[in-house]
Amino acid sequence: MSKRSKSTFERLNLDLMNRRERRELKRRLFSSDPGLAIVNPNAGGIDVGNESHYVAVPPDRDPEPVQEFGCWTADLNRMAEWLKTCRIDTVSMQATGVYWIPLHDILERHGIRVVLANARDTKNVPGRKTDVQESQWLMKLHTYGLMRDSFRLPESMEWVRTIWRVRARHVEEAGRAVQHMQKALTKMNVQLANVISDIGGVSGQAIIRAILKGQRDPYQLADLRDRRVQASREEVAHSLEGNWREDVLFELQQAVDSHDFAHQQIRQCDQKLELYLAWLPTRTIPGGSPAPEPGQARKRAPKPRGNAPVFDLKTTLHRIAGVDLTTIDGIDVMTAQTIVSEVGPDLRRAFATEERFASWLALTPNKDISGGKVIRSRSRKVQNRVAAALRMAASTLRNSRSYLGARYRHLQRSLPSKASAVKAMAHYLALLVYRLLTKGQAWVDSGAARFEHKREQREMASLASRAAAKGFKLVALNAEPLA
C-alpha cells in the first residue's frame, strides 16, 4: 500500500496550535479566500439526513451548486450522476447514525471517493447552522484537506462485526430474561437465587422448568440440583417453599420462552460467525506463532464457558490474527473476538503507531495546550466496544498473580481513583495488543515478583539521582555507597 501525502490538516497539526493560532486559522477559513493550498479541487460536501441529503459543489460547476436529494435509492443514484456531471471525484460527509451507510456504498459504486468525518471535528460552522451551510462547510474543509477520514473495516470483516454485534445483543436479551425469571420467583417468595448463584445455569433451569411443568414438592425439586451446588438439599428445599400464583407462573413461563428464543438466536449467530470466519485468510507475522492444526485444536479445545461460541473460536482467531491474543493475562477469547471483529487483524493498515491506536480508543488524556502549558485535561466521551472490552479485561487483573496484575495493583495505589487505574491499565493492554498484531511479539508473563523487582529498582535509581542532585550519596545499611 503506497504512502499517501499528508493533508493540510496534518501539516498544520491543529492539536499543537494554541488558541490564538486556531482562531486565526478559522478566520482565514471563513473568509472568501483563506490563502491555503487547495488539496482536493474536485471536492463536494454532503449533509446527511434521514429523509433527504444536501449536496454542495463548487459554484462554477453548476448554476445551482447546492441541491437536495431524497433518501430513496433512485435519488442516491441520481445524486451520484449529478456529482459526476459536476466533475466531482471526492466528497466528504459526517458519520451520522447509520444514514450514511447506503449513501457511502452507492457513491463508491459510482467511483466517487468518500471521506467519512467525525462530526466532532467539523462542528465549528460560523453563524446560524442550516443544512445548506453545513454541506458548504464540509465541502470547504475537504477542498483544503482539513478532513480526517474515519477508520473503516474491510468488507469481509464488516460481516464478522455485524454478526458479533447482533450476537452480543442476544446475549444481553438472555441476561434480561434471567433477571425476569428471578423477579417472578421473588414475587412468589421462591428464594432460589439465594442458594444457587446462577439460576440461568443447569441447576436453576432444571428446577424452574420442573416448576412450570407442575412439580411443587420442594424436595423433589431440590434433587434436580447439580452435584457442584454447594447448598445442601435441605437449604434448596426450604428456598422452594412459596406461594404458587397462577399469574406469576405465566410471567415466569414468558421469561423462560424469551430466554430460549434468545439462545436459539445465539446458536444461529454462531453458525453464521463460524462460516464468515472460515472465509478469512490465514495471517502470518514474522515472529508470530502458527495456529495448531484443526484436528489437534479440537482435541485440546476446552468446553466453552459462559456465553462463548460452541466452536473452537480460540484456534480460529489464532489463525486469522497470526498470534494468540489470549496469552495476555486478562484477555479471554471473547475479548479477543471483540478486538478482531471491531478493528481487524491488521492494525498497521489504519494506525501507524500504537499511541494512535490508543488515542482512537480514547484511552489517552485529551489535553488543551496554550503557550506550552496544559490548560485543561479531560477524557473524551467515546463509545468504543474495543475500549470497553479492554477496560473489562483490566478490571479482572485485580487478584491476578501475573506481571500485569502487579502493575494494575500498583496503578490502583498510585492513581487517584479506580477509574483512572482501569483506564491506565486498559491503555497498556491496548499497546500490548498492537505489538502482538503488528510485530508478532509474544507476550511472556514474568510474574508479579518481576514487576515488584523492577519497581524497586526504579525507586532506588530515583532516590540516588535526587540525593546526587543535592550533593549527597545514598548509603545502604551494611553496604557500599550507592552511586
- My answer on whether 171 and 239 are in the same domain is yes
Q: What is the pLDDT of residues 45-103, one digit of tens each?
A: 998 888 889 999 988 888 888 888 988 999 999 999 999 999 999 999 888 788 888 89
Q: What is the pLDDT of residue 5?
A: 47
Least confident among 65-74, 115-124, 307-316, 405-414: 115-124
383 pLDDT band, cuts 50/70/90, is confident
Of the candidates 279, 308, 331, which is a domain's last residue? 279
In a domain, 243, yes or no: yes
Residue 283 clears pLDDT 80, i.e. is over it: yes
Residues 6+ apart with CB under 8 A from 27: none
pLDDT of residue 34: 61
Position 372 in a domain: yes
Q: Of 114, 109, 111, give the one whose Cα is nearest residue 55.
A: 114
User: Residue 229 falls within a domain, yes or no?
Assistant: yes
Domain stops at, among 143, 170, 185: 143
| 7: pLDDT strictly greater than 90 | no
Answer yes or no: do 331 and 208 share one domain.
Answer: no
Whole-angstrom Cα distance, residue 253 to residue 251?
5
- Domain tally for the chain? 4
Residues 6+ apart with CB under 8 A from 238: 218
Question: Is residue 244 situated within a structural domain?
Answer: yes
pTM of the predicted structure, to 2 decimals: 0.78
Q: Given this model, what pLDDT does residue 226 score?
A: 86
The pLDDT assigned to 125 comes to 52
| Same-domain pairing of 173 and 88 | no
Backbone angles phi, psi at 432, to 5 degrees: -65, -40
Count of H-run helices and E-run strands, the chain:
18, 9
First CA to last CA across the chain, in angstroms? 51
DSSP state of 92: E
Q: 193 and 70 share a domain?
A: no
Q: Which helix (H) or strand (E) holds 437?
A: helix 418-439
Quick one: CA torsion of 288, 361, 354, 343, rounded to 10 degrees? 40
Confidence grade of residue 1 (pLDDT, cut at 50, 70, 90): very low
Residue 467 is assigned to a structural domain of this protein: yes
Q: What is the mean pLDDT of residues 428-444?
A: 82
pLDDT, one tens digit per residue, over 120-178 is 767 655 555 778 888 888 888 888 888 888 888 888 888 999 999 999 999 999 999 99
* CA pair distance 105, 103, nearest whole angstrom: 5
Whether 246 and 361 map to the same domain: the answer is no
DSSP letters for 235-287? HHHHHT-----HHHHHHHHHHHHHHHHHHHHHHHHHHHHHHHHHHSPP---TT
For residues 159 and 64, the answer to whether their CB atoms sit within 8 Å is no
DSSP annotation of 289 reads: P
In-domain check, residue 424: yes
User: What mean pLDDT value characterizes the chain?
Assistant: 82
Select from 169, 173, 168 the least CA-distant residue to 338.
Answer: 168
Please say which residue of 252, 279, 306 terminates a domain: 279
Q: Does residue 419 share a domain with residue 341? A: yes
pLDDT tens per residue, range 34-45: 667 788 889 999
- Asked if 14 and 134 sit in the same domain, the reply is yes
Convert the pLDDT of each residue in 194-241 to its tens digit: 888 888 888 899 999 999 999 899 899 989 988 888 888 888 899 888
Q: Predicted confidence band at 2 (pLDDT cuts at 50, 70, 90)?
A: very low
| Cell 414468558 found at | 254
CA distance 131 to 49: 9
Report which of 354, 378, 352, 356 is spatially closest to residue 367, judged by C-alpha positions: 378
Question: Does a structural domain hold residue 216?
Answer: yes
Q: 160 with 139, same domain?
A: no
pLDDT(9) > 60: no
The more confident residue out of 442 and 426 is 426
Structural domain range at position 185: 156-279
pLDDT tens digits, one per residue of 295-305: 554 455 556 67
Same domain for 95 and 63?
A: yes
Going by C-alpha positions, the residue among 117, 140, 161 that lies closest to residue 59 is 140
Per-residue pLDDT tens for 370-382?
666 767 766 777 7
Are residues 434 and 356 part of one domain? yes
- Tell how far CA 29 is from the center of its chain: 34
| Same domain as 466, residue 434 | no
Q: Does residue 292 form part of some domain?
A: no
> Residues 178, 54: one domain?
no
Which residues make beta-bridge pairs with 52? 70
